[in-house]
Structure formats: C-alpha cells, structure tokens
Amino acid sequence: MPKIESVVRTPRGKEITKETKKKSKFKCFFKRKSAVGDSSQNQNVCKSKKQEALPTIEESCLILYASYEIRQGKVEVTCPDTGCEDGGSLFITELQELVPEEVWNLRERLKLFREIEEDPTRCWCPKPTCEGVCSSQDEVPLKVKQKITCPECQLNFCSKCLSDWHPNPDCQEAPPPHSFAIPADLKNVIKRCPFCNIFIERDAGCAQMFCKRCHHMFCWHCLTILDYDYLLRHYTSGPCKGKLGHSRISVLFYRIQFIGIVLGFGLVAILASPLLIVMAPCVCMYGAVCHNRK
C-alpha cells in the first residue's frame, strides 16, 4: 500500500490552523499518493459538506494538472475535483513542492505580471529587449501624462502613450512608439488584443481568440470584437469568410448544438412556468410564517 499524504486546502490557499478550522465551515482537502499504487482503489480525494468518496489522484496526474493550469496563466490552482462546492485552491507550499522548478518560476512570473497590471503606478518598460519594472513619480497614476525612466535601460518614455518621451501635451502628435512595434516576421503570430492592448500569440487553430486578461472574444484576422457572435456568423461573410480554422461540417454541428441547447432551456422554462406560478404564493407564505416565528 503506497503512503497517503493529506494536503489541506482553503478557498484562497491559506493554511488551516486549529482555530480557523473551528470557525470555518470549509472542510475540503484531498489525499494524494506519494508513489504509484493500485488505481482501482478509492480514497477520499475531497471532503466537502457532502463527504463524498472519490477516486484517488495519483501524484503524477496531480503534477500534470497543476502544471497545465499554471501554463494556462493561472496563479492559483483550483481543486482538481470538478464537483467541489467550496471552490478551494491548492496550498501554496504544497504547490511549490509539487510542480517542477521551471513551472513554479513561471507561476511567480505570472504573479508579478498580475501585481503590475493591477498597480496603477507601475508598468513594464516598453522596450521589447528590456524587462524592467518602471514606477511613477510620487505614486501618481500612469494614466496621468508624465516622464518615466526605466531603471534598467534608462529609456525615457511617456506614461500615457508609451512612446519615447515627448514634450507635446497631445500624445497624438508624438512619433509612433517604435519600441513597441512588432517585428515583420512575427506579425502573423503575435497581435494585440483590440480591447486591452495586451500581446497575444497564436500558434494555430481557431481564429476566434479569447483574451484571458479582459475576457473578450475577437477575430484574429481583423480584430473585430465577437463577444455576442455565438453562431460564428462573422466567418460566413465579409473579408474573414472561411477563415475560422475549422471545417464547415464542424461549424454546422456547433451551430446546431448551440441552437438545440438554447431551445431546450426555453422549453424547460415554458413547461416549468405554471408550476412556478403555483408555488410562488406557497413560498411567500412559508417565508412570512418563518419571519413571524423569529
């Protein structure tokens, strides 16, 4: 029998002490095998309010899962149990011990990116060959026009338009930000999100892109926002016709499936509406009775 190690999780990855465990209703934890064992055996992976027994997670599978989540841009790795109702995340020290060093370094890098993105007084140096972190003067937000100097490469640039520093009050009169230009050989691979302006790389596959920073959908070819194009009509006409990256049969199957789901929910709502109308007064009366008892 391989050794089983209990790993305690909290909703935000914090350690559970005896005091917090008494006060908190969160009881979720999982057990992982420190060595490969019999996969047919079942162990408690996650104990939530229902105390359900789930298949044991092998350590190798857990490493692959955590590494994949981090490579997808996630700083916090959520519970591997899809049925977990507590929405917990893996303990930070356990995560560091679990994943390879290169993956952990990537996670720390992503964490730094997030901290800088959420800080209105800091930004990355706009020079592609520099990775310096620049700060504003006297903690003034960077959206206010000011001269910023990179501590690494000593580049002076405008905090508002990220171009080389210019005394012109209007940034539109400034020269184009050559330091932010994408090389010609990478223009088909790297583009900017039309909504938040962050760099996005596309290797292959679907041309309908999803930005993980601003959570908007857009077309890779023409950068049109596609947040409400649920049927992919953008790729049936116009300059992007047939450029989705999928066959016509797969697109047709997707549309039929989407329409079927929408019609199914609508049918359920129509059939359930009489029952809801009948139950509404009963629910109101029950709530009034409970309120009077208090």
Check if the beta carbon of residue 113 is closer than 8 Å to that of residue 122.
Answer: no
Whole-angstrom distance between the N-terminal and C-terminal Cα of the chain? 54
> What residue type is assigned to position 71 of the chain?
R
Rounded to whole angstroms, how far apart are CA atoms 78 and 11? 9
Residues assigned a catalytic role: 206
Q: What is the CA radius of gyration of the chain?
A: 26
Rounded to whole angstroms, how far apart are CA atoms 236 and 238? 7
Rounded to whole angstroms, how far apart are CA atoms 70 and 78? 10
CA distances (Å), origin 146, targets 119, 124, 162 = 16, 15, 10
Beta strand pairing call for 133-135 and 122-124: antiparallel
Q: Looking at residue 15, what DSSP letter applies?
A: P
CA distances (Å), origin 30, targets 20, 157, 163, 169, 193 = 18, 50, 50, 58, 38
Give the tokens for residue 161. Answer: 């338009």
